[in-house]
Structure 1
Amino acid sequence: MGNLPQQRLLPGGYPFQCTGVDYAGPIMAASRQGRGCKLIKVYIAIFVCFTTKAIHLEVVSDLTSNKYLLALFRFISRRGKPDDIYSDNGTSFVGACNELSKFLKTNCDSLSEQLANDGIKFHFIPAYSPHYGGLWEAGVKSTKFHLRRVLGNCNLTFEELNTTLVQIEAILNSRPLTPLSSDPADCTPLTPGHFLIGRPLTSLPRHDIKDHSTASLSRFQRIEQLRQHFWARWSKEFVSELQHRTKWQKGNDTLKLGALVVVKEDHLPPLKWRLGRVIAVHPGSDGIVRVADITTSVGVIRRAFNRICPLPVDAEFG
């Protein structure tokens, strides 16, 4: 395995300064509500920040360069202009690069010198080498894997699908990355949302309708049900990935006093994580810690190691 690219390790001045982009899909969407609607293919443009791991999702109607440019302009209007964009060798990305380069060269005289030089550098990974784009491929997996399963045979309109994707974007950007401070009383984690809006991403409280029959729900309620289903599937998978299992080779005692941990809890609402600090550990007869007492916002709880996911600290990143 090669070293991480330098762009992944250098802190940027703002989120999405160095961005990776890829497409996911296709997904079938309805042209309009009601009878007689046609099903059309749409795609998801996924933008991933190299340093903060933040994700931005855009719905794209086809794979032409013009539609990719429109998605790129929407992204820049809301997140700011990136300095570097990394992608694979898809025709949409290469065409967009050529079109932007042609525009800057053709209009160099009419534009001011500062604006002409204020362009975006496009970088393309080697052909047939998707492992070079593992960062955005992971974003594609997080978005696409469970989205197809929660959508099923439900065909949303373009507006409804865009609303669902923006809410999924908030869920992905709410994931805890590392403790925000070393204060034992502070149970706040650092999330990609902190880099985007300066505070954790939250959502309005809503009724739990995951188990309701689809036929009894309106289209508005169906979108909320899709969001809750996506959260229930993705959050369990993400928390499980935080648990590093090392069987038979070696053991690593990660339950330490004062560590910030994510507690696996069922039936939590979207964007709500159960976090706490370890205040006591209970080693077994072999000296290995498998049970700990954790102080949370609802009090002190005792959980086994299979329900506890310690967040990585700075030393583990280095």
Structure 2
Amino acid sequence: MTRATGVGSMPGTTDADHAEATRVVLGELPELPHVPEVPGRGVTAAMTGRGLAVVEGLGADLQPAGWRLTDASGIDHRRARSLLAQDLDTVEELAQDHQGAFKTQVCGPWTLAATVERPRGDKVLADHGARRELAQALAEGTRTHLADLGRRLPGVDRWIVQVDEPALASVVAGQVPTASGFGRHRSVDLPEASAHLEWLVAAIADAGGEAWVHSCAPRTPWSLVAGTGAHGLSADLDMLGPADLDTFAEALESGRTAALGVVPSTEPATEPSEARTTERVQRWLDMLGLDPDGVGEHLVVTPTCGLAGASASWAGRAVRLSATVARNL
């Protein structure tokens, strides 16, 4: 059966909004709920801060220019970790009786390297050793994170970890700005780009989880991502080029997952209909020469990206529409 899930983020600015987002996710996406993120609460709840909250063995602090690695955790890093634990307390309370699959999200190693500064300044991306250390610390921290989730929700028999890599395309294309803003960091060699993702994918598998890689950015190197051993590929359907079709077809044919973002993440001028959205997915499958019945649960329907920028009403509608399209398929 085709399922639906969310990408991760939901609208809101308070802890009460996070609790409400958790209720919406559990109520509307019972087949594959996810741990909601509410980045509107500030930098400690946003993707980079949340990623650093998972990282193990490295300190960080919030500077005027953004997050920076430090010898010891600063107050904002400690707040990010405390907020993550608080959010997981909420999920544990509201999802205690959940049985089946559940999804969580972590910021990927290359997006962290492109958004976090090293101690001496400029991005971690500029330092081969620093980006290696950060990727390995993220992999180790994700193991611990999965173990914590498993203790909190013992009824979950399948943990999916979505690795968010919106910056991966810019990293491999040499498009990440330097600290001055006048230059660009050198592109990362594809073998190294793959290796850092492979460490995280392997850590997730070793901890009993299933790794999906998500990006809603254009020109994401999906063939590279597929080669890391990731079990799922998650993308905005509008961002997939002709060259990506074979990669996604091979993933589905080999029993891996393709999560397709087909529901707008912000309210459109004209509300999409269930029938047209369903037909769009069916046409895409026809292009691949695949049948919805044949791909079954390996096909997942999602919004195009996170819903943090949506209104609360549209976020609920987008989640429900995703679930309806999955049932139609």
Identify whether the pair has TM-score above 0.5, normalized to the shorter chain: no
Answer 1 or 2: which has greater strand percent: 1
Report 1 or 2 for greater relative contact order, CA contacts < 8 Å, sequence distance ≥ 6.
2
Q: Which has the higher helix share?
A: 2
Larger Rg: 1
